[in-house]
Amino acid sequence: MNIIAAVDSNWAIGCQNSLLVRIPRDQQMFREMTEGKVIVAGRKTLESFPQKQPLKNRVNIILSRDRSYVVKGAIVIHSVGELMEELKGYADEDIYVVGGASVYEQLLPYCNTAHITKIDYAYQADAFFPRLDEMPEWALVADSEEQTYFDLEYYFLKYERKNSRKC
């Protein structure tokens, strides 16, 4: 399973249920990587999408503890165990965990690849991604040349779990 996020220099991912910054090239990369695939998101992340709707051209699986929560065009799942059962019907490499913070934390142990856009700036934030650089089971295996968006510098990074396993 893959995990995908844009983080700042402190591994922050959001503030008040919004992205810290919208970088067109990062959004394009997200779209290219996830179209035609399965995305797993929490309810608050879904509600941060355009028109609070599932993303087009993807299988949207929403993780929510609220058993009465229903979303047209998405599969709503209520526990990690239930999610793992649902995901057995999809190829591991076609699954992307897209947030938010609690979903990243819960599902990181099941992921083998992390696609991270690392922004060289520290924003005010209230949501964070686990610091892969400080986790011995993760290794940085690829990084891009420096990218720029106006005065922001950022990098596309790829981490892989050492001794990766299938779930």
Q: What's the length of the chain?
A: 167
CB 66 within 8 A of CB 45: no
* Per-residue pLDDT at 145: 96
Q: Which domains does the chain have, with CATH numbers?
A: 2-161 (3.40.430.10)
Confidence check: pLDDT of 167 > 50: no
Nearest to 95 by CA among 117, 79, 115: 115
In this prediction the pTM is 0.94
Summarize pLDDT for 23-43 with one digit per residue, the tens: 999 999 999 999 999 999 999
- Provide the pLDDT for residue 163: 78
Edge to edge, the sheet with strand 18-19 lists: 18-19, 12-15, 127-128
Q: Give the tens place of pLDDT for each residue, 87-134.
A: 999 999 999 999 999 999 999 999 999 999 999 999 999 999 999 999
Q: Is the dihedral of CA 16, 18, 22, 26 positive or negative?
A: positive
